[in-house]
Structures are given as C-alpha cells and as structure tokens.
Structure 1
Amino acid sequence: MVALCWKLSLCFFCYQVVSGRVKREGHYIAAVYEHESILSPNPTALVDRQSALQLMGRNLDIYEQQAVAAARQGAQIIVFPEDGIHGFNFTRSSIYPYLDFALHSQSVKWNPCREPYLFNDTEVLQRLSCMALKNKIFLVANLGTKQPCEHTDPYCPSDGRYQFNTNVAFDADGMLVATYRKYNLYFEYAFDTPPEPDYKVFDTPFAGKFGMFTCFDILFFEPAVNLIRQYNLKQVVYPTAWMNQLPLLSAVEFQQAFATAFNINILAANIHHPTLGMTGSGIYTPAKSFIYHNMESYGGKLIVAEIPVITTDHETNLESNERVRENLHHSCKTFIGTSLDDQVCFREEEETPSRVSEKGNEQLVPVFYSEMMYDNFTFVPVWGEKGELQVCANTLCCYLNYQRADLTGELYALGVFDGLHTVHGTYYVQACALVKCGGLNFSTCGEEVTHATALIDFQLWGNMSTRYVFPLLLTSGIALDFADHMGWKNNHYFISKNRTSFGLLTAALYGRWYEKD
C-alpha cells in the first residue's frame, strides 16, 4: 500500500503514518479494552487504603499493558470499562478505601503524573495520567471518587462526603481534561447521584469534541441525549458494566442502535464477566462496527480500529421526523422488494385482523401474550413463508411484511409493548419487535435466544409516539447486521432488510418516550 502510494505521489496527501500504522486522512484510530477485572473476594469487608491500592494496582498493571499495546498499533485514544479498577458489590463504607479524591472543577488545571503532590489520595489518578503521558495517548477510565461536603449543603450525605462513580479523561500529556459523575445509578448503593447531571466534553486534535457518560445513562434523556444535542457531539466515549439482556438489550445490540440513531461514533468498553452476563464492547460508527461479544471464555480483549471522524451535521434518523409530516398513502400495500427510497406504504386499518399467506392461502393468526424482559408483550405468531401482520397495544401499532428464504421449523413472533417498564429501572418504552422464540410454544416467545437459522426479508414499522427510536438488528451468535433502509415516513418509523446475513434473532424498533418516565 505504501509503495503504491509513493508511485502515485499521493502518499503525503492521503495518508499519515502513526506508530507504524497507516492512518487515512479524516480518520482516527481508537481502542477500547474489555477487561476481566480482578475482584475483591469479599467486597463488603472493610480494608485499609493500602490493601485497596494493592488490589487496584493489579488491574492497573493490565491497563498499562493494554495502553502500550494500543499505542503501538497507532491508537490515539483508549477507553477502559466501568468498575474495571475496583470492581463492584461494595457497601458505602467498604468502598471508601478504594476512592480517589478527584477535583471536579474545570478551572484548575492538573497533571497528576507531573504534579502528584497537589492532592492526597490520588494514586489511581496518577497511574492513569502517567499511562496517557508515557504512551502519548488520550485515555478514559472509570473509578470511584470522593469529595468532602459541608452539612450546610442540603444534598450532603450524613457522613460528610460524596462518593461518585466517575469517568476521567486524560490528554496525551497526562493532563486531566474532564471528569464525569454517573447520573443514572444502577443499584449502586455505594455511590451518590450528583445533584445535577454533568455535561462533560473534552477536545482532541484528531477528532474534535468527545462527550462521555456511563452504562445505564444510555437509556435516559439526562445526561446522554441532552449532552449530544446541546454540544452537537459526533464522538462519545462510553465505559460500561452492562449485563446483557436478550432479546432487546444486549450490549453490542443497543450500543450500535444508539450510534445509528444519533449518527455518532461510540467507543464502548464493557467489563468481561460471562458468569454475570457481562460482555460486549465495540467501536461503533453509524455504518460499521468492530465488536467483541464472548460468553464462552475468559480474559480481556483489546479492540483497535480506524474510523472516520464525523464532522458533518447530517440529519439523524431521530431528527428526520420533523420533515415527514406530509400525508402519503395510508392504504397501499408494501411488498417485499419494493424500493423503500421511493415508497413506504402503511396499512392502518386497526379493525382488520392480521393475516399470513402460505401457498396462496390466507389464514387468520391468533393474538397471545407473553413476558419479554419483564414486560407483558402482545404477540402474533409469524407463520408461513410470507405474510403481512399487525399487532397493537395502547396507542402503538406495529406492522410487518416478511418473506422467509426457507421454512426452518423455528417459531417467530411479532410483539408490541407500549408502557412503563418497572423492573431493574423505571422508564417508558414503545417497542415493535420481531423475535425468534425459544421453542415452538407461544410461551417461549420473549425468551433469551442466541442462535437461529432463518434468513428473513422484512419491513417493520410502527406509529411511534416518540422521536427517539433505536433500530435493533441482531443475528445468530450475537452478531450485528445493518438495515438496508430506516427512518421516518408518514409519522411511522420503519426498518427494512432484504435477507439477513445470518439467522435472525431480533429486528426491533426500541422507542424511549422520555417524557413519560
């Protein structure tokens, strides 16, 4: 490649050599590390600071090795996961020795590696800062932090200190350039929620502004959505400790959907503990992903990829809702193979029962109910070689046109949910989902399934009441696929695919109606 560039005299215009790796103009090289953290055998036990530092030092030793490996591959930024340094399942008291003091004010410039004497209890920050400095790499990590407070502060806890789940970002000189305190805690009783959401952005010379938030934050308007909107962000770093929940909230599945919906790049680093269902990291662009999902084996995984800098302010799939209020046909059929660039038509006769075609005959299909991810979904079975289906709940109606390449004997179902999710968090969901069932009985629809063989052409759409719709497309083995077309038309959000790459697990429109939380 390099020799060819020299012959064409294009090398200095098109490429830049970074640490032995060729980087294209308008691109940057990112790294994320999925870390199998070394955990405390008894996180509720009270230990001294030195013992806590010893445990965290073992994890930081691994971080240091991975920062070196990433830099050697030309990475300009590396992201490590949530809880990777200290672990989890602490009490408020037992985590205290693991906490660093972190300066949250942006007005004070501090380089922990070069100025370790400025603040006490900053050993972890010093090591992270030195990793960034030694490897000349931007570095993002997650740790526990503490901050004293006065009892005159109405939010100050009774023990006189805040304890935060915190992301820190360092530039390539080791300077602390941003701290973010997690706003949406997920049963994290050792930590406090900050009084106000942080909107933290840091600037880089290779890709402009990056924003950051943590794990459960991705499901809420504050701060994730508001941060992206306010700062017009195109790059996000995302430490997480995500427990996969199929069929709609697998880590890589939702991370990709978020990148697609907002037309952004996401650098997502997850923890790796398969026995706890925790895996799934990646470097995501709206059009391509570099992912790791492994529930079978142990050990960490470094992902390094070159991705384009998103600089143009293209309309996102979410924002395009504003321009599709025109009245298009409401009554024409949409057939598999129709060019969706030209025509997406919807059948909205809610009194008409769903029908499925098989060998030229039409048959009515039954409506049934089954629990999926702790929510009571309304389903219709997806029978036969091809058909048109609809299913409704509350204000949401979901529509499906499909054609199967062959009948594999697997049962699929089209489900709808429009309501408040109340288990493991409270938030309002509107979802249209085509899922593979766990068996051949209706009661298995909604179960967690990881393998499928059916290749399906489909068009799926719904009359969503929220503009925030995340398109999910997951195939056998927890692999990602990309839709041929998606977006808003005639006040419906749609997603279509002509023949999935592998057996279809999930095709869904996952809507978050934030105002109804």
Structure 2
Amino acid sequence: MVCLNHYLIIENSMFKNLYLSSLYKNSASSNDTIYLLITRLVKFLIMFRFVFFLVVVTFCLLYGISPSFDNARKRDNSTLRAAVYEYRRFTNLTDNQLGVKQVNLRAYAKAIQVASHNGAEIIVFPESGLFSASNRHIASLNYEYIPEANGSITPCIDWDQESSPSSSQIVHTLSCLARGFKIYVAAILGEKIECSLLSDPDCPEDGHYLYNTQILFDSTGKLIAKYHKTHLFFEPANNIPKDPEIVTVSTPLGKFGFLICFDIHFEQPALSLIYDEAVDTILFGAHWIDELPFLNAHRVQSGFTIEHNVNLLAAGVNDLVNGALGSGIYVAGEGPIVYTADVKKSGSRLLIADIPKSRKTPNEEDSETESRFIKVIEHLDEPDEASTYVPWELALDIFNHTVLTHQSDNIVSCTETVCCELSYSLTKPSFTSTYYLLAKRWIRPTTKICEQFCGLVAYNQTDYAYTTTDQFSYVKLTGTFAGNLSIPSVVTNNFELIAKSKWNYVHKDNVASISFEKLDQPLVGVTLYSRNEKDDQQL
C-alpha cells in the first residue's frame, strides 16, 4: 500500500507542477536555466508515468502486498459498503486529449484508493468523467477496445506488453486498480468496435461503431459486465445499440443491473432489470444537467428508488456552471442514505455508505438505519468556490399555473391527459413566497419524449425559488396521468431532499399522490414527474 500511495502523491505533484509552470511560462526568462531543467524533467517523468504505475502495481501484486488499507471489512454479511464518486472533471488541457484522459484517470485512482481505505467493496464513477467527445473524430481517438465481459479476461494480468491493445489504457489501468485495491469498479468510457461495410451493411462510414459504455470489474480485476447506453442524449459521436441491452451480473455483493443517465427516463431496459431480472442494485453513472422545477438529478434518483423499490448507486459529474451535479447511495423504497447536491460550492465528493445486498420488500422494516456507516469525503481535488450553479429551467408560462392565495384551499388543474389536485394548509396566515400549482403534458421539442408534470413549487418574482421560510401543516398532491409510472419528490431549501419518513407516497394504476402533515421544514417543492412512453415521437 505504501508504494502505491507514494506513487499517487508523486504523480499528483508532477501534474500540479507542470500545470503551474505552464501558467507562469510567459513570465520566465529565456535564460532561466533552472526553470527549463525542472520543466523538462517533469515532462519526462510524466511521459513515462503510466509505465511506472504498472511497474508499481505489478510489484505489489507479485509480492503479495495488499494495496487496501482495510481488507477485513468486518460487518454484517447482509450489507455491502458502496462508494460513488461525484467528480469535477479536469478539462484544462484542451489541446491534449491524452493528457486530459490521464489526469482524470489519476483522479479515479485516488478515489479508488480512498474508497478502499474506508472499506468500500464497490465504487461507481460518472458518465463522461474521463473525457468528453463532442464529435466522432475526437471519440475515435479516445474510445478503446473492450473485450467481451464473460468473466474470462483480467486485463491487468492477461494483457502483457506484447498482447495488450495499445488503445486500451483505461481498461488495463482500471483492471489493475480493482485488483490491486480489491474492490469492484464500475466506470463509463467509450468502446470502439471496428466494422466493414463489406460484411455489415449497418457499419458507419468511418469503419467503426462507437458506444457509450459502462463496464464492471470485480475485486480481482476481472471484467464481468459491459453495457452499451440505449438512450442517447445529444451524443452525435455515439451509436445506438440495435436492441436495448438487458445486462445483469450476480456477485457476492448482490445482483447488479446497469443504466447510464438518460436511460432512467425510459421503460427499457430499466423495467426489465427491476421487474423481470429482479436486480438488487442498479449501477448508474450520469452527466446530468439539472432542470427546474422538476428534474434535479438527486430528485430523479431518489424518486426512482422509491417508485421502483430498487437500490441505486448513482454517480454524477460535478460542473455547477453548466448545472451538472447530484449523486447518491439510495435504498429501495426509502430514498437516500447519503447524497450530494450542493448548489453553493463545487468540487469532487466521495460518498460511502452501507446498503443491503438484497432489496427489501415494500413493507419490510430496516432495523439498521441508525447504525449504518455513512461518510462524505469532500475535495479530493481542489475546490472551486467561484462556480455558480446554472441549471436549465422550464419557463413558468409553459405550465398551467395556478397561484395559491388562501391559507388553506383545494385546487384542481387539468390539461390534456394530466389532472393535478392540491389540498393544503399553510402554517402561518400568509405566504412569504409565491406558490404555484403546475400541470403540464407535452412532447418535449428537443427529445420528442412525452412528459407529464404535476407539482407545487415556490417562486420568486422572476424565477423558481431556491429558499423560502414558508411551512405547511398539511399537503396532499395527487396526479392523474396517462401511463402508470411517476417520480415523486419533496424538497426544502436549496433543493435538499426531505426524508421519505416525513411524507407518504401512494401509487396505484395511473394515480399517484404525496401527502404529509405538520412538516417542520420550509417547503420549496412537492412534485410528481411522469412519462408516457407510448406517446413518444420519432426524433
């Protein structure tokens, strides 16, 4: 462990020194010999850092040196300790995609090290955390060969210098990290599959398929699962699989299924994973951009686990200026054990918690809630306090919006296939914020999916409220939709989730309702979001 720990510290220092030297390069004198020597030495070391890393890992493995701080992981065999990494990507080296990828890969290595140190048995990473691919040319340079995930290949030990594909650096490194730190690793990268129009009429003109791909290594570094994202969200570089892939894998940690970001909005493959394959936990990586007032990432994640009674390990990208954040560890039917959605400061965060290996039945009691291990480790990279949260917003005027004017009332708002009913009582005689009952059914112009909205939301003079002081002694929100799936959410200031233990959710057929009494927290929003996939249109 000491050798790997020192390696990570040394490499981190090298990258920081190189980056800082580039910032001050213009101020250095051309005769500054010391500056030139140091810069050249750092560049030389960085050029060969990957070889050095492999040598260190190989040495540790050959001599039986465990890189894990906590190998015992003593706890109830019915639970697993999971980690999710909300990562603020490094993107400064825009002219050097290889450099960007390797800096981010080093950050993944550090997160794996820290998760293992805290006893985690699995870690989940976000979508597009290693690099971004805005077009097929950039994607083809960064995407990798990924072998079949049939449990027969451990890239870290099966690929030597002669047989290792030169384009599979990430796959090889993650395999070594999983094996070295004895931890399951779920990551999302790009897969490149060569093809020919001579034998495959669907082969793209550039001669390869490019897929947004989630992979899982077990704690020996073996590749045990591979999933291609089914529902792309403005990803011109990527290809869509011919059929939705239902990928599951049974492990000592439970049965896992896989979804990537936009997939969570669709019946397939999600419902097959939950109701046909009966997975215990879904591994979910995302680059989610929040959209007010319904679709913050953590609200969707939590509502998904409550609606479908499945565990969820969700890791997202942290990019506040573009509205991207939100990660968590969620238990079936309960919502979050721990989550992050801090709209006031940016930075990477590692969340660690114990969850049941098997998902509970809907009415099963969980006696271990109070004794669970929960840990949040902030700023594995350096925080960026200057970032401002800039989410997307749906304008108030697109909804049927009815303003609340009385201390207590019953309001009904219907539009097309959606009917939204609200009964409420305000704790004090008057409002400090403006509240609206919103109802809407539409085909979203950009993605052509059919969405249905029903919600009570706080509003300021010009935009949706982040904070309020208003409290309600009673609320019951009922939505009647076309279709029978919905995502419930109740949030307080800065969109923090109100614990599921403080409100009730009932869903039968196409009617869903949220209710509570004597809530002692300010109320920013109570929302039901529903999809009617049958009415989706062709994009």
User: Is the partner of 1:164 in helix, strand or coil?
Assistant: strand
How big is the shift at 1:112?
A: 0.9
User: Is the partner of 1:63 in helix, strand or coil?
Assistant: helix
CA deviations on 1:311-361 (whole Å, 9 max, x unpaired) are 445489xxxxxxxxxxxxxxxxxxxxxxxxxxxxxxxxxxxxxxxxxxxxx
1:477 is matched with 494
1:297 and 2:349 are equivalent in the alignment: no
Instruction: Name the CA distance, whole Å, in 1 between partners of 2:450 and 2:509.
Output: 23
With over 3 angstroms needed to count, the CA separation of the structure-2 counterparts of 1:119 and 1:89, relative to structure 1, is closer
CA deviations on 1:148-175 (whole Å, 9 max, x unpaired) are 0121323210011011111110000000
TM-score (norm. length: structure 1) = 0.79
Q: Select the residue among 431, 454, 461 that pairs with 2:470.
A: 454
Q: Select the residue among 118, 123, 144 that pairs with 1:78.
A: 123
With over 3 angstroms needed to count, the CA separation of the structure-2 counterparts of 1:25 and 1:110, relative to structure 1, is closer
With over 3 angstroms needed to count, the CA separation of the structure-2 counterparts of 1:402 and 1:19, relative to structure 1, is farther
Q: Select the residue among 511, 519, 528 that pairs with 1:509.
A: 528
Could you tell me whether the CA contact under 8 Å between 2:213 and 2:226 is conserved in 1?
Answer: yes
CA deviations on 1:173-195 (whole Å, 9 max, x unpaired) are 00001111111111111211122
Deviates more, 1:123-132 or 1:218-227: 218-227
Instruction: Name the CA distance, whole Å, in 2 between partners of 1:58 and 1:258.
Output: 33
User: Is the partner of 1:259 in helix, strand or coil?
Assistant: helix
With over 3 angstroms needed to count, the CA separation of the structure-2 counterparts of 1:502 and 1:89, relative to structure 1, is farther
The percentage of counterpart residues that share the same residue type is 29
With over 3 angstroms needed to count, the CA separation of the structure-2 counterparts of 1:101 and 1:245, relative to structure 1, is same
Instruction: Name the CA distance, whole Å, in 2 between partners of 1:462 and 1:140.
Output: 36
Instruction: Name the CA distance, whole Å, in 2 between partners of 1:142 and 1:224.
Output: 18
2:485 is matched with 468
Correspondences of 1:95-494 after superposition (within 5 Å) = 95-103=139-147, 105-107=148-150, 109-117=152-160, 118-120=163-165, 121-151=167-197, 152-206=199-253, 208-285=254-331, 286-289=333-336, 290-314=338-362, 372=394, 376-406=398-428, 407-423=430-446, 425-439=447-461, 444=462, 447-456=463-472, 457-481=474-498, 482=500, 484-488=503-507, 492-494=511-513
Instruction: Name the CA distance, whole Å, in 1 between partners of 2:252 and 2:361.
Output: 19
Instruction: Name the CA distance, whole Å, in 2 between partners of 1:515 and 1:213.
Output: 21
- How many correspondences in the alignment? 430
Could you tell me whether the CA contact under 8 Å between 1:274 and 1:294 is conserved in 2?
Answer: no
1:34 and 2:96 are equivalent in the alignment: no
2:79 counterpart letter in structure 1: H
How big is the shift at 1:215?
A: 0.7
Deviates more, 1:371-380 or 1:259-268: 371-380
User: Is the partner of 2:75 in helix, strand or coil?
Assistant: strand
Q: Select the residue among 85, 107, 111 that pairs with 1:62.
A: 107
How big is the shift at 1:227?
A: 2.6
How big is the shift at 1:491?
A: 5.6
How big is the shift at 1:119?
A: 4.7
How big is the shift at 1:396?
A: 2.2
Could you tell me whether the CA contact under 8 Å between 2:485 and 2:510 is conserved in 1?
Answer: no
How big is the shift at 1:418?
A: 2.0
Instruction: Name the CA distance, whole Å, in 2 between partners of 1:464 and 1:254.
Output: 18
The two structures, once aligned, show a CA RMSD in angstroms of 2.3
Q: Which runs of 5+ in 1 are unaligned?
A: 1-16, 46-50, 317-370
How big is the shift at 1:393?
A: 0.6
With over 3 angstroms needed to count, the CA separation of the structure-2 counterparts of 1:209 and 1:489, relative to structure 1, is closer
CA deviations on 1:102-140 (whole Å, 9 max, x unpaired) are 12x344721111112445111110110111101111110
With over 3 angstroms needed to count, the CA separation of the structure-2 counterparts of 1:21 and 1:183, relative to structure 1, is same
Could you tell me whether the CA contact under 8 Å between 1:465 and 1:513 is conserved in 2?
Answer: yes
2:215 counterpart letter in structure 1: V
Could you tell me whether the CA contact under 8 Å between 1:475 and 1:500 is conserved in 2?
Answer: no
With over 3 angstroms needed to count, the CA separation of the structure-2 counterparts of 1:53 and 1:232, relative to structure 1, is same
1:409 counterpart letter in structure 2: T
Instruction: Name the CA distance, whole Å, in 2 between partners of 1:381 and 1:414.
Output: 6
Instruction: Name the CA distance, whole Å, in 1 between partners of 2:201 and 2:151.
Output: 25
CA deviations on 1:65-120 (whole Å, 9 max, x unpaired) are 1111111111111001111111x2521112222111112x3447211111124451
2:81 counterpart letter in structure 1: I
1:510 counterpart letter in structure 2: Y
User: Is the partner of 1:95 in helix, strand or coil?
Assistant: helix
With over 3 angstroms needed to count, the CA separation of the structure-2 counterparts of 1:62 and 1:310, relative to structure 1, is same
Could you tell me whether the CA contact under 8 Å between 1:155 and 1:195 is conserved in 2?
Answer: no
1:167 counterpart letter in structure 2: Q
With over 3 angstroms needed to count, the CA separation of the structure-2 counterparts of 1:281 and 1:373, relative to structure 1, is farther
Instruction: Name the CA distance, whole Å, in 1 between partners of 2:247 and 2:299.
Output: 25
Could you tell me whether the CA contact under 8 Å between 1:412 and 1:437 is conserved in 2?
Answer: yes
Instruction: Name the CA distance, whole Å, in 2 between partners of 1:179 and 1:306.
Output: 25
Instruction: Name the CA distance, whole Å, in 1 between partners of 2:510 and 2:214.
Output: 38
